[in-house]
Chains A and B, each alone.
Chain A
Amino acid sequence: MSLLDWSVLIFTILFIVGYGLWKGRGIHHIKGFLLADRKMPWYHVGLSVMATQASAITFLSAPAQGYTDGLRFVQFYFGLPLAMILICITFIPIYQRLQVYTAYEYLEKRFDMKTRVFTAFLFLLQRGLSTGITIYAPALVLSTILHVDITFTTFFMGGLVILYTIYGGAKAVSHTQLLQMSVIFAGLFVAGYMVVHLLPAGIGFSDALHVAGKMGKLNAIDTEFNLSNRYNIWSGIIGGFFLQLSYFGTDQSQVGRYLTGSSVSQSRLGLLMNGLLKIPMQFFILLTGTLVFAFYQFYQPPVFFNQVEVSKVEAGTYSLEFDSINTAWNDANRIKATQVSELVAAIETDNEISIEEKRKSLMASQAQVLEIRKSAVEVIRKNDPGAELNDSNYIFLHFVMHHLPRGLIGLLIAIIFLAAMGSTASGLNSLASSCVVDFYKRFLNRDGTAKDYLLASRLITAGWGVFCIIVALYASRLGNLIEAVNILGSLFYGTILGIFLTAFFLKQVKGQAVFIAALITEALVIAAWWNETTAFLWLNVIGSLTVMVVSFILQQTFFKNHGEPGRN
C-alpha cells in the first residue's frame, strides 16, 4: 500500500475513535454507560443497529458471495422488515415500559430467575466467543493483505475498540457507529462506481449486467419451495423472519442498541429504518460482487485469490505443476474473454439464436476454467495440507488492491476495520450489560452505589475485551471450532426466541413449563441439525414453535394447578 493509503487508513480510524471518545465523555452512572442515558434519536438507533449486524466479514464475504454464487443470498433478508414490524409492535413497548437494561431482565419479571439466568448464560457463551471471532476473521485477512503480523492487526482493532468502549460505553459506541456507517456507505458506493468505471472501453453497466445475467449470477429470486435449498424466497421470508426476530428481539447486542432510543417512537423508527435500508444495501453489496465477476470476464483474474498461499506453492516443490496450471488458466481465460466480447456483440444485435449459441460456448469455457481452478486448489493443498483453501474472502480485497486508485484503497481497507470495530464494540457493550445487570447486580451486589456499578461495568467491559482478544489470537488453533461457534449461535436462537414468544403471546404459560420446554426443544434442534434434516434457517422456525407448543401442553397438563398466571 502507498503512503497515501496508509495515511487515509490511519486518519479515518483514529478520527472516528477520537470522535467516539469525545462524544462519550461525562458518564457518571450505568444508565449512561450501558444505555447512553436512553437519549438517542432514531437515526442513531437505526445506524447503530445496522453497524452491529454488519461485521467486517459482511463486507468481505458478501461481495465474494455475489462473485461466486450470484445474488440469491439477498433472499436471506426478506424476513427482516417483517421481523422489525413485530418487534416494534410487541418487544419494544414492553422493554421500554419495564425500563429494562437487558432483554433477559424481562424474563425474570415474566417467568422466574432460572429462565433469566439460563437465557443470559446462553447469550454470554455464544456472544463472547463470536465477538472474538468477529475480531479474528478480518484480522487474518488484513494481516495477509497488508503483510503485517496477525497479532498486530488483532491488538490494533481490539485495543482501539476496548479503549472507547470502556471510556464512553454505549454513547461512544453509538456515535462511532454513526460515523462508521456513513464512511462504509460512501466507500461502498465509490467501490461500486469504480467497478463499472474500470470496465473496458465500450462496455457499460448494462453490458456487465447482461454478461453476469447470462452466466447465471443475477439469480436474485428463487420461487421454488425446497426445504434443503438454503436460499429461496420461502426460506428467506419464513426462516429469515424467525432468525431476524430472534437476533433483533432477543440478542442483547441488538436489544441494547434500540434501548438507547429516547422513546418507544425513536426506537421503533430506528428499527423501521433498518428494515427499509437493509435489503437495498445487501443487494448493492452483492451486485458489486457480481460486477467484479463481470469485470474479471474481461480481465485476467488470478487462479487463486489468496496470494500468500500462491507464493508458498511457487516457492515449494510443486512450483512446476502450479506453473503449468497457471498457463492453462491464463489461456482458458483469454479464450473466455473473447467469447464474452462476442456475447456482448450478440446482445447488442439482439439476435436471440446467436446470443444463446454464444452463451452456451461461454458456459462450457466457464466450466473448463472452474476445473482448472480446482486442480490449482488441489496443488495448494498438496503443497501445504494446512493451507487456507477457501479464498472467497480475498476476492473483493484483491480487486481493491490491484485495480483501485491510490487513496481509495486505504479508504476501503478502513471500511473493513471500521465494520469489525462497530460490531465488536456492540458485542463488548452487550456482554458487559448482561454480566453487570443479570449477574453482578442481581446476585453479587444488590445495593451498590452508582459509582460501584459504573466501575464494575468498565472492569467487566475490559475483561470481556481481553477475553475476545485471547479468543481471536488463539482462533487459528481452534480450527473447526470457529465453525462450531457460528453453529452454536444458530442452534440456540430458535429456543431463545421461543421463550420470548411464549412470554409475549402465551400469557397462561409459567416459568417451570417454559424452562422444561426449552430444554426439550434444544435437544430436538440439536438432533435435527445432527441428522441434517433441514437447512439451518428452518431450525429457528422449528425451535421457536416447538418451545411454544410444548410449554403450552406442559402448562395445560403437568403444571395446570401450579402458582399464579404469568405476568408481563
Chain B
Amino acid sequence: MKDEKSQKRFRSWNTLYLVEIIFLVSCIIAMYFFMIYFR
C-alpha cells in the first residue's frame, strides 16, 4: 500500500519535471520563431 502510494507520488513529480522541460523547450522554440518573424 505504502509502496503504491510512493510510486504514485514519484510518477506525479516526474510528470511535473517533464512539464517544466517541455515549457523550457516551448519557450526556446517560441522565442526563435518570434526572432525570425520580426527579423
Contacts and interface: CB of A to CB of B under 8 A. Distances in A.
A220 B32 contact: yes
Sorted nearest first, the 4 A-B pairs with minimum C-beta distance are: A213-B38, A220-B31, A81-B24, A221-B32
Nearest to B23: A276
A219 B34 CA distance: 9
Interface in A62-108: 71, 74, 78, 81-82, 84-85, 88-89
Given A78-B28, A280-B27, A85 B35 contact: no
Give the secondary structure class of B's interface.
Answer: helix
Contacts, number: 54
Contacts of B38: 209-210, 212-214, 218
A131 B39 CA distance: 40
Contact of A74 (B23, B31, B37, B39): B31
A219 B21 CA distance: 22
A272 B35 contact: no
Contact of A88 (B17, B27, B37): B17
Contact of B21 (A74, A82, A212): A82
A479 to B, nearest CB: 38
A233 B28 contact: yes
Nearest to A213: B38
B13 A81 contact: no
B21 A85 contact: yes
Given A88-B17, A268-B13, A272-B16, A82 B24 contact: yes
A275 B27 CA distance: 12
Interface of B: 13, 16-17, 20-21, 23-24, 27-28, 31-32, 34-35, 37-39
A466 interface: no
B35 A84 contact: no
Contacts of B27: 279-280, 283
Nearest to B37: A213
Interface of A: 71, 74, 78, 81-82, 84-85, 88-89, 209-210, 212-214, 218-221, 233, 268, 272, 275-276, 279-280, 283
A89 B10 CA distance: 10
A303 to B, nearest CB: 28
B39 A279 contact: no
A275 B18 CA distance: 12
A218 B24 contact: no
A535 to B, nearest CB: 20
23 contacts: A71-B31, A71-B35, A78-B24, A81-B20, A85-B20, A88-B13, A213-B37, A213-B38, A213-B39, A214-B38, A218-B35, A219-B35, A220-B31, A221-B35, A233-B28, A268-B13, A272-B17, A275-B20, A276-B20, A276-B23, A279-B24, A283-B27, A283-B31
Given A71-B31, A233-B28, A214 B23 contact: no
Contacts of A233: 28
A276 B24 CA distance: 8
A81 B21 contact: yes
Contacts of A272: 16-17, 20
B19 to A, nearest CB: 8
A219 B36 CA distance: 9
A268 B17 CA distance: 10
A305 to B, nearest CB: 25
A231 to B, nearest CB: 13
B6 to A, nearest CB: 12
Nearest to B16: A272
Nearest to A268: B13
A78 B37 CA distance: 21
Contacts of B13: 88, 268
A221 B27 CA distance: 11
Nearest to B39: A213
Contacts of B39: 213-214, 218
A425 to B, nearest CB: 28
B31 to A, nearest CB: 4
Contacts of A84: 20
A276 B21 CA distance: 9
A85 B34 contact: no
B25 to A, nearest CB: 10
Contacts of B28: 78, 221, 233
A174 B21 CA distance: 27
A322 B32 CA distance: 42
B31 A221 contact: yes
